[in-house]
Structure 1
Amino acid sequence: MPLLLINFPSFDPIALSLGPFAIRWYALAYIGGIVIGWLYARSLVKKERLWGGPAPMSLVQLDDFILWVTLGIILGGRTGYVLFYNLPFFIEHPAAIFRLWEGGMSFHGGFLGCVVAVMWFASRNGISILSLGDITTAVGPIGLFLGRLANFINSELWGRAADPSLPWAVIFPNGGPEPRHPSQLYEAGLEGILLFTVLAVMIRFGALKRPGLILGSFILIYGLARITGEHFREPDPQLGFLWGGLTMGALLSIPMLIVGVILIVLAVRRGAPDTAEAIR
């Protein structure tokens, strides 16, 4: 056993207890991601220079949208997990679908829920769907980063068995005796820090002036990051490896590569709108 092999620290999955009520780290990750993302989104909407004029949505509209996107994340994430990851179990135990505190959320389902929320809210409020999608995905890596940290704290979604010589391999308490890749931290770095940094730099250089460019870049880079992360992550036991030796997470990410490229190409070809179009 290597000298630097890491024994998993003893985390309590419950962050705060108030009598019979318990707040888990995973719930705090969702709350923190939404709140911090909302504050960051407000700061982007306020800066007209990033949009080439007034933002295509008001702060009031953005504040109203938070409830919509929160519902999209939760309902879509749970629906995606039920359909993509454990449908036979939930067919036999339908009541378990509503026991969210037991875990089980899917990013791809949550993302589709966000898409529905964006399209519905934008059409009802006369906002550009692509621009609202841009602002939503610009803040998305914040929640992804916090969520992956919560996965690590909960000792869930751990990685595949690692070479014993890997100095940062972790022995998870429910992952058997072998050292494993801390794949949750890999994904936190790729889907959170790296993705947020790339999108922030793009925004600084005027990407929001081309509706759909940030959205497409998020979809493309996330897909690449997720496929990379899945290479180190232990597949879900009820699914195992699927077609071509890929995991469900990798398979669901492949269409994102295609959609992301299409949105980026269309945004670049469309060009930046003039001031009048930006105000519209």
Structure 2
Amino acid sequence: MPPLLALPFPAVDPVAVSLGPVEIKWYALSYIAGLIGGWFYARRLVQAESLWGGVKRPSLTDIDDLVVWVALGVVLGGRIGYVLFYNLPLYLDQPLEILAIRNGGMSFHGGFLGAVLAMLLFARARSLGGLNLLDISAVVVPIGLFFGRIANFVNGELWGRAAPDFPYAVVFPTGGDVPRYPSQLFEAATEGLLLFVVMALAVRRFGFRRPGLLGGLFVLGYAVTRTFCEFFREPDRQLGFLFGQDVNALGGGITMGMLLCVPMALVGIVAIVLAARGVTRPRRKSPEIQAEAGQI
């Protein structure tokens, strides 16, 4: 029987659709919803000429093709990141488990790096500005983060730290008979909704006229919101707290998620400063150089 100060976990079947032996889980649908929502929003952004101010923008076809590259980058990077950052001893002992993605185990930080690499390779292949693609992605990524964290809650995974006095604590089926913070919903609200609003306001204010500015703002914003939510989230069991003790929700304990956010925050700050100073803006060639290149 759950404690008095706790809400029962809503027993939602993790399988959304079952067609014979084929099962489609809510987690998979969250990835699909994030990709489709991001793709639709990105198409709208590249069509808004007023946001670009003369900076070369990708075509609608480029955005359509980019989705496939980013999807592969997210899945491969997310899995490799989880293997390296969160459970390397297990996978060194059982290497075939690396391929068992259906058993869970994805890292946002790894998926982020995989997506960045995919976008840079795509930009090189299409002769596009890599920072411009990163800026577009920065505006739309919170959509996927929102749906992903909701799916984490539905799956009853990545639950929060013990919260016996929190009035909206939840007893998760896999978290023992202990009321816990619904940290997945905290992350959906901050990494998803809050960052989405911040990025939407930023793109209306600055557009894409300073390559790297929006990307830096997202990276910094994610690092801050993820670090905040880590104070409520139970660390991965195989890692525990890297430093400090689990005193209370806001009392201490450094997790791997917090540690990985430090370089993200630094990269975000540097990107914002460089973009604000105009360092990342493509330099226009002089008429003499353009004439030699046959451009005029």
| CA offset digits 1:171-217 (Å, max 9, x no partner) | 11111111100000000011000001000001011232111011000
- After TM superposition, the structure 1 = structure 2 runs for residues 18-57 of structure 1, keeping only pairs within 5 Å, are 18-53=19-54, 56-57=57-58
Bigger mean CA deviation after superposition, 91-100 or 39-48: 91-100
What TM-score do you get using the length of structure 2 for normalisation?
Answer: 0.89
8 Å contact kept, 1:46–1:55: no
1:229 maps onto 2:247 in alignment: no
Contact 2:7–2:171 (Cα < 8 Å) also in 1: yes
Q: Distance in 2 between matches of 1:258 and 1:218?
A: 12
Give the CA deviation at 1:56: 1.5
Separation of aligned partners in 2, 1:154 and 1:9: 10
- The alignment's TM-score, normalised by the length of structure 1, stands at 0.94
Match of 1:170 in 2: 170
Q: d(CA) in 2 for partners of 1:94 and 1:2?
A: 41
1:255 aligns with 2:256: no
Partner of 1:136: 137
Aligned residue for 2:157?
156
Q: Name the larger-Rg structure.
A: 2
**Runs of 5+ in structure 2 lacking a partner?**
245-252, 286-294
Secondary structure (helix, strand or coil) at the match of 2:18 reads: strand
SS at match of 2:174: coil
Deviation at 1:165, TM superposition (A): 3.0
What pairs with 1:8-23 in structure 2 (closer than 5 Å)?
A: 8-23=9-24
Tell me if structure 2 keeps the 8 A contact 1:210–1:273. yes
CA distance in 2 between partners of 1:80 and 1:60 (Å): 30
Q: Which residue of 2 aligns with 1:213?
A: 213
Conservation of the 8 A alpha-carbon contact between 1:2 and 1:167: no
Closer, same or farther in 2 for the Cα pair 1:242/1:274, shift >3 Å? Answer: closer
Say whether residues 1:106 and 2:114 are aligned partners: no
1:139-171 C-alpha deviation (Å, 9 max, x unpaired): 100000000000000000000001x33211111
The answer for the alignment partner of 1:116 in structure 2 is: 117
Superposed structure 1 runs of 4+ greater than 3 Å apart: 1-4, 271-277
CA shift for structure 1 position 272: 9.1
8 Å contact 1:53–1:275 — kept in the other structure?
no
Any stretches of 5+ residues in structure 1 without a counterpart? none
Q: C-alpha displacement at 1:2, in angstroms?
A: 7.8
